[in-house]
Amino acid sequence: MKKAVVLFVVACCAVSVLSLAEEKPSATMSSAKQFDVSPSSTTSQPKTTTAMANTTTTTSKTTTTTPKTTTTTPKTTTTTPKTTTTTPKTTTTTPKTTTTTPKTTTTTPKTTATTPKTTTTPVPGPTPPTRVFVGSYNLTEKKVVCLRANMALEIQLSAAKVNGSFIVQPNETKTEGSCGETKANLTLVFKEGFITFMFNKSVADNTAYVDALSFKLSYSFAKGEARQEYRADNKSLHLFAAKVSHCYSCSGEMLYMGNGLYLNVTKNRMQAFNLTKSYDFGQPDMCLADKTDYRVAIGVGVTLLVLIVIVVLAYLVSRRKRTDGYQTL
Ligand SMILES: *[C@@H]1O[C@H](CO)[C@@H](O)[C@H](O)[C@H]1NC(C)=O
Ligand SMILES: *[C@@H]1O[C@H](CO)[C@@H](O)[C@H](O)[C@H]1NC(C)=O
Ligand SMILES: *[C@@H]1O[C@H](CO)[C@@H](O)[C@H](O)[C@H]1NC(C)=O
Ligand SMILES: *[C@@H]1O[C@H](CO)[C@@H](O)[C@H](O)[C@H]1NC(C)=O
Ligand SMILES: *[C@@H]1O[C@H](CO)[C@@H](O)[C@H](O)[C@H]1NC(C)=O
Ligand SMILES: *[C@@H]1O[C@H](CO)[C@@H](O)[C@H](O)[C@H]1NC(C)=O
Ligand SMILES: *[C@@H]1O[C@H](CO)[C@@H](O)[C@H](O)[C@H]1NC(C)=O
Ligand SMILES: *[C@@H]1O[C@H](CO)[C@@H](O)[C@H](O)[C@H]1NC(C)=O
Ligand SMILES: *[C@@H]1O[C@H](CO)[C@@H](O)[C@H](O)[C@H]1NC(C)=O
C-alpha cells in the first residue's frame, strides 16, 4: 500500500515536472522576447527560419541545444536515463526508475526528429522568397518614433487557378505614414506594392486598434504567369487591439481580405500610441489565441498540483491509520 502510494506520488511529480517543462516555453511571454531578437534575421538566419516555420518557440529553443545531445545519446542511451532519475530526490525504490525511463526515451526521439528539419532548412536558405522575415518597422515623425511594429508579413492567394504567396522582404521595405493624436497610418512600401494599417485610438475605451487594412500588390503568384494587380481594402475593422500605451502581441494570424487573398501576420508586436520614453513597446497584450494557450498550460499545471496534494493527503491519512493500529494491508 505504502509503496504503491509513494510510487503514484513520484509518477505524478514526474508528469508534472515534464508538463511544466513543456508549458513554460509555450507561455507567450517568452515568445515576445523572441520577437525582439528576430529583426536581426540577416545575421542569425538558421535560427530565424526555424522560428518562422514553427510558430512555437519551443522548437527553436530545443534545436539550438539538441545537436550536441543527439550525438551523444545514440551511444550512451543507458547513461542518460540514469542522470534523469536523479532529479526525484525522495525516491529510493527501484520501480520508479522504470516508470521514468520510458518518458525520457520518448522525449529524445522528438528532439532527434526536430534536428533534421533544422539541417534541411538552412540548405535552401539562400533563396529569399521562401523565407519569412520579421521586419522592424519604425515610423518616425519630427525625429520621434511614434509607431513601432515588429512582424513578418505574407500575402497569400488561394484560388482555384493559382495558389501562392508573396513574402514582404523587410530590408527592401520602406516605412511611411503619419501619426496623429488618435489616428495613425503605417504604410509599408515595397517595389511590388504596399500594405497600409490604419490605427485608431479610442480614448473612451482606452484602446488602440487597427480599423482599416489595405494593400496593393502587383505580383505573379504562379511561375510563367503574367503579373497581376491585387487589391484589398477592408474598413470598419477591429484588429490588433491593445490598451493605450500597451503593445499588441500575437504569434500568428491569418486574415482573410476577400477574393481569395489572405494577409498572414506572424510574430507580431505593434504599438501605435504612447510608446515608452525610449521609444520601446509597452506591456504586451496577448491575442486570444496566445492567451488561451497560456491558460490551458496553467490549467493543466494547477490540475496536476491538486492531484499531487490529494495523493499526498491520502498517503498521510493511510500512515496515520497504520500508526493508530488500523492496518488494512
Ligand atoms: C515545423 O515546420 C515544418 C515546416 O513548415 C512542418 O512540416 C512541421 O510540422 C513543423 N513542426 C512543428 C512541431 O510545428
Ligand atoms: C526601431 O527603434 C528601435 C528602438 O529605438 C530600435 O531598436 C530598432 O533598431 C529600430 N528599427 C529600425 C528598423 O530602425
Ligand atoms: C489551391 O488550393 C485550393 C485549396 O487548397 C485548391 O482547391 C485548389 O485546387 C488549389 N489550386 C491550385 C492551382 O493548386
Ligand atoms: C535582403 O535580404 C536578402 C536575404 O538576406 C538578400 O538576398 C537581399 O540581397 C537583401 N536585399 C537588400 C536590398 O539588401
Ligand atoms: C497613409 O500613408 C501613405 C503614405 O504616406 C499615403 O500614401 C496614404 O494615402 C495614407 N492613407 C490614408 C488612409 O491616410
Ligand atoms: C475611432 O474610434 C472612435 C472611438 O471609438 C470612433 O468614434 C471613431 O469613429 C473611430 N474612427 C474611425 C476612423 O473609425
Ligand atoms: C499563415 O498563418 C497561419 C496562422 O498563423 C498559419 O497556420 C499558416 O501556416 C500561415 N501560412 C503560411 C503560408 O505561412
Ligand atoms: C475583408 O473584406 C472581405 C470582403 O468584403 C471579407 O470577406 C473579409 O472577411 C474581410 N476581412 C476582415 C479581416 O474583416
Ligand atoms: C498617451 O499620450 C497622450 C498624449 O501624448 C496623453 O495625454 C495620455 O495620457 C497618454 N495615455 C496613457 C495611457 O499613457
- The model's pLDDT over 68-93, given as tens digits with 9 standing for 90+, comes to 333 333 433 333 333 333 333 433 33
Which residue's alpha carbon is nearest to atom 3 within ligand 6?
A: 202
Confidence of residue 56 (pLDDT cuts 50, 70, 90): very low
- Among 11-15, 88-92, 160-164, 301-305, the range scoring the smallest mean pLDDT is 88-92
Atom of ligand 6 nearest to the CA of 203: 4
Which residue's alpha carbon is nearest to atom 2 within ligand 6?
A: 202
Give me 216's grid cell: 496593393
More confident residue, 213 or 106: 213
Q: What is the pLDDT of residue 69?
A: 36
- Which numbered ligand comes closest to the C-alpha of 198? 5
Give me 324's grid cell: 493508530
Cβ < 6 A, ligand 2 pocket: 136, 138, 145, 279
Q: Is 78 part of any domain?
A: no
Q: Is 153 part of any domain?
A: yes
- Among 84-88, 165-169, 271-275, 283-287, the range scoring the smallest mean pLDDT is 84-88
Confidence of residue 5 (pLDDT cuts 50, 70, 90): very low
Give me 308's grid cell: 499531487
- Among 118-127, 147-156, 274-283, 286-295, the range scoring the smallest mean pLDDT is 118-127
How many angstroms from the chain centroid is the CA of residue 195?
Answer: 24
With 80 as the cut, is the pLDDT of residue 270 above it? Answer: yes
Q: What is the pLDDT of residue 268?
A: 96
Confidence of residue 292 (pLDDT cuts 50, 70, 90): confident
CB 57 within 8 A of CB 47: no
More confident residue, 225 or 170: 170
Nearest-angstrom CA–CA distance, 263 and 193: 14
Confidence of residue 304 (pLDDT cuts 50, 70, 90): very high
Range of the domain at 189: 135-290
Atom of ligand 7 nearest to the CA of 262: 1
Distance 162 CA to ligand 6 centre (A): 37
99 ligand 1 Cβ < 6 A: no
Give one DSSP letter per residue of 22-34, joined into a string: HHHHHSHHHHHHH
Q: What is the pLDDT of residue 25?
A: 36
pTM above threshold 0.85? no
Q: What is the pLDDT of residue 2?
A: 54
With 90 as the cut, is the pLDDT of residue 324 above it? Answer: no
Q: What is the pLDDT of residue 93?
A: 38
The CA radius of gyration of the chain, in Å to the nearest whole number, is 26
Q: Is 186 part of any domain?
A: yes
Distance 273 CA to ligand 9 centre (A): 8
Nearest-angstrom CA–CA distance, 265 and 168: 11
Q: Is 70 part of any domain?
A: no
**How confident is the prediction for the chain on average, in pLDDT?**
71
Q: What is the pLDDT of residue 3?
A: 57
Q: Is 298 part of any domain?
A: no
Q: Is 93 part of any domain?
A: no
Q: What's the domain count of the chain?
A: 1
Give one DSSP letter per residue of 120-143, joined into a string: HSSTTTT-GGG---EEEEEEEETT
CATH number of the domain where residue 243 is located: 2.40.160.110
Q: Is 8 part of any domain?
A: no
Q: What is the pLDDT of residue 303?
A: 93
- Residues 232-248: b if buried by 16+ CB within 10 A, e if exposed: bebeebebbbbebebbb
In percent, the amount of the chain with pLDDT more than 90 equals 48
CB 55 within 8 A of CB 38: no
Beta strands in the chain (DSSP E): 134-141, 144-158, 163-167, 174-179, 183-190, 193-202, 207-219, 228-234, 239-243, 247-258, 261-271, 284-286
- The model's pLDDT over 221-259, given as tens digits with 9 standing for 90+, comes to 988 888 999 999 999 999 999 999 999 999 999 999 999
Q: What is the pLDDT of residue 297?
A: 85
Q: Is 123 part of any domain?
A: no
Query: Bridge-partner residues for 134, per DSSP?
Result: 152
Nearest-angstrom CA–CA distance, 124 and 122: 6
Within 13 Å of residue 156, how many CA atoms lie on the same side as its CB?
15
